[in-house]
Chains A and B, each alone.
Chain A
């Protein structure tokens, strides 16, 4: 893990290489995170992957987070790993909610990390974040005809009645 000054150094170098890409950093529980501009996400990930001395070449994981009520609302979190140095670095693209029916969009990093394909589909499935340039942007775990983005914080839990034999007569034509 880069320590707190090391993280600031990376942030500075990144801002030099890609103007205005890093919006902020935090370092807690021994883990560092760069909060970046979602428009520059590919520049940031590409720089971290290919610059000598950084070489975070392995994408461990990718999470979607809904920070409601904070602004910007969404976060797409990349867990990068440098295997030889055993260093992890977290990158969070801070995405604002465009509001209404419109979905937030972000560049897909499948071109940089081929393994991100399933992860990005999962984030799309649960948070409704569109990844531009993804080869197969469909739902992955929910049924394809499902409506709504179930992992968003404002999505209700337990909304669907469960049909048993005893309460089936009370809900006529439930199957429609």
Chain B
């Protein structure tokens, strides 16, 4: 009886408390005033912990949720469970040893973390990177964007009950990891970007594999969209859920697909192109309503655009060196070490002490899969940074979760969190 009444409650926005009549309250006696009017039964707020270990929080995230029945009345994210003091450790490492550290913050977009730090140091050094390095960086970052979005799509669809999506997405993600393994030697946390360029040129056959991947990926995306786009359950769960106005998002500092889904065409790749992003022809997908469905569509469309960028980058890959020719910063080529005394000295100095960066501070931002990933580095003239701070998009975006979830069902909280796509490694650093 009571379950039946619950099901007939309006799906979104409506006041379900008004709908829960005496049948739902069940046996509890109704209180009446002296005049005989029924008094509203006092609804008690129930405050519960969701997490820190919960399969739907995408990491070690704890949410303190105040519930009135099934409706979220208040929410507070509590973070810090995987804080490892990366920023403090960076101050104790020479610049080139910081790169593997920052990679491990947002563990799904490691190329972007590297790019933010390395780009910031290059800005401090006023170092230009050769065009081939710039193309290779963009190529890997866009592959990384697809990889990150695929993990998001698989896990989010899993949260909404679409089990098979997870397997499909991880199948394709594995192909990207294979590509990373081929070009960089590692599947995750590749340490491929160096100050001055990239570590190594791409191997023979890599271009062919990337092209094969690019040829196949749009078809795969069509298949995924065929599964989800008109799936009744998926639509019911995502449409008009978690809408936050564009003004509020801007006020909260939210960037990335969340902001674009609300209709703001802000993408650093277009607005302030770094490297060779200006050379490519691609679009910035934007949404209209800003609900969960728009966020999903924007991300899937972004994957298509990334495929286009990768195709253009691999076709237009310029010949030439892949790392800058500055012996005070960049390691000399291996073959010179056995013939040139000077190269040996440079190598020794760079490996033991590292290069020095003139005093100054710089902020460098890239468009990561989750929004603006910024790196702020203060150099004090030594071989170690005085301060490294990463502005992680997940950390800032998490603040809009309360706005998304307030006065909605607790089941929609799962959906909202999934569409927010937080990475706790990035939030906690």
Contacts and interface: CB of A to CB of B under 8 A. Distances in A.
A67 B386 CA distance: 8
Interface residues of A, number: 40
Contact of B88 (A28, A65, A115, A150): A150
Contact of A117 (B361, B391, B399): B399
Interface string B263-279: 00010000110000000
Contact of B252 (A66, A114, A142): A114
A83 B429 contact: no
B85 interface: yes
B378 A88 contact: no
A83 B89 CA distance: 33
A141 B360 contact: no
A79 B363 contact: yes
A161 interface: no
Nearest to B89: A157
A77 B376 contact: yes
A29 B396 contact: no
A64 B91 CA distance: 14
A88 B251 CA distance: 16
Contacts of A40: none
A65 B419 CA distance: 33
A25 interface: no
Interface in B379-399: 386-387, 389, 391, 395-396, 398-399
B398 A118 contact: yes
Contacts of A65: 361, 378, 386-387, 389
B372 interface: yes
Contact of A31 (B251, B271, B362): B362
Contacts of B92: 157
Contact of B253 (A64, A90, A113, A142): A113
Contacts of B386: 65, 67, 153
Contact of A60 (B80, B362, B391): B391
Contact of B126 (A29, A59, A88, A157): A29
Interface residues of B, number: 40
A58 B253 contact: yes
B126 A63 contact: no
B9 interface: no
Interface in A68-95: 77, 79, 83, 86, 88, 90
B229 to A, nearest CB: 31
B258 to A, nearest CB: 12
Interface string A86-116: 1010100000000000000000000001111
B85 to A, nearest CB: 7
A115 B251 contact: yes
B146 interface: no
A12 interface: no
Contacts of B389: 61, 63-65
B250 interface: yes
Given A58-B253, A141-B79, A79 B88 contact: no
B79 A114 contact: no
Given A60-B365, A113-B251, A113-B253, A79 B80 contact: no
A10 interface: no
A141 B363 contact: no
Contacts of B89: 157
Nearest to A88: B363
A145 B224 CA distance: 47
A58 to B, nearest CB: 6
Contacts of A66: 387
B123 interface: yes
Given A60-B372, A63-B376, A79-B363, A141 B124 contact: no
Interface in B399-429: 399, 428-429
Interface string B79-100: 1100101011101100000000
Given A86-B271, A142-B83, A151-B87, A115 B396 contact: yes
A110 B266 CA distance: 23
Contacts of B124: 29
Given A61-B374, A113-B253, 6 more contacts: A29-B124, A61-B376, A118-B396, A118-B398, A122-B395, A153-B386
9 contacts: A28-B360, A60-B374, A61-B363, A63-B387, A65-B386, A77-B361, A126-B87, A153-B386, A155-B88
